[in-house]
């Protein structure tokens, strides 16, 4: 996978790519579960949100017959996925804002959640800048490929 160069991208393009790539990862998660769950269980989890499906995968990984190294890689992947999932929610629900750069006549653009519009300085406010989003998109793209490898290597659960 070649990293995207932010010089050739714009906000709408990167936001669109991020949402589409997250959808691809979600589809791969569904396929992973479909291969490992009885049809009735899959039908139940298919309608749940992404985070609940990931929690189920964590349970599945704990039961999979694989090496300690493979299990550690999967657990590391799932741990690194949480910030990407949170960012997806910010991208899906955020607003593009133009903000002045203090002490200058220039501006910068951020992607912020509506609840954070009055909270520029609050410690839990995350004003996402363009290069941060491009970096996260590159990370997500790499994680999609990594999940494909992990899923292919995983042995079916003893419960399936």
At residue 1, the pLDDT reads: 58
Higher pLDDT, 145 or 159: 145
pLDDT above 70 covers what percent of the chain?
88
Query: pLDDT tens, 105-119?
Result: 877 777 777 777 665
In this prediction, residue 160 has a pLDDT band, given cuts at 50, 70 and 90, of very low
Domain annotation covers residue 24: yes
**Quick one: which of 135, 133, 138, 157 has its CA closest to 37?**
157
At residue 120, the pLDDT reads: 57
Query: pLDDT tens, 21-33?
Result: 999 999 999 999 9
Domain annotation covers residue 142: yes
Domain annotation covers residue 81: yes
Query: pLDDT tens, 76-116?
Result: 999 999 999 999 988 888 888 787 888 888 777 777 777 77
- From the CB of residue 81, how many other CB atoms can be counted at a distance below 10 Å? 20
Domain annotation covers residue 117: no
In the predicted model, is pLDDT for residue 52 greater than 70? Answer: yes
At residue 118, the pLDDT reads: 67
| 62 CB-near residues (< 8 Å, 6+ apart) | none
Rounded to two decimals, the pTM is 0.82
| 2 CB-near residues (< 8 Å, 6+ apart) | none
Q: What angle do CA 138, 139, 144 make, to 5 degrees?
A: 100
| 141 CB-near residues (< 8 Å, 6+ apart) | 1, 4, 21
At residue 38, the pLDDT reads: 95
Domain annotation covers residue 108: no
How many domains does the structure of the chain reveal? 1
Domain annotation covers residue 160: no
Within 13 Å, how many C-alpha atoms sit on residue 100's CB side? Answer: 4
Domain that holds residue 139: 8-91+130-153
């Amino acid at each position: 996978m070649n990293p995207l160069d932010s010089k050739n991208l714009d906000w709408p393009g990167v936001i669109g790519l991020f949402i589409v790539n997250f959808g691809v990862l979600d589809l791969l998660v569904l396929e992973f579960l479909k291969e490992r769950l009885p049809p009735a269980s899959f039908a139940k989890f298919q309608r749940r949100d992404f985070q609940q499906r990931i929690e189920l995968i964590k349970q599945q990984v704990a039961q999979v017959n694989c090496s300690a190294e493979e299990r550690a890689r999967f657990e590391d992947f799932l741990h690194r996925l949480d910030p990407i999932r949170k960012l997806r929610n910010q991208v899906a629900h955020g607003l593009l804002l133009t903000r002045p750069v203090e002490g200058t006549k220039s501006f910068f653009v951020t992607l912020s959640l509506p609840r954070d519009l009055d909270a520029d300085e609050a410690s839990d406010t995350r004003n996402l800048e363009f290069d941060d989003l491009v970096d996260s998109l590159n990370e997500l793209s790499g994680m999609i490929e990594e999940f494909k490898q992990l899923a292919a290597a995983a042995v079916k659960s003893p419960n399936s």
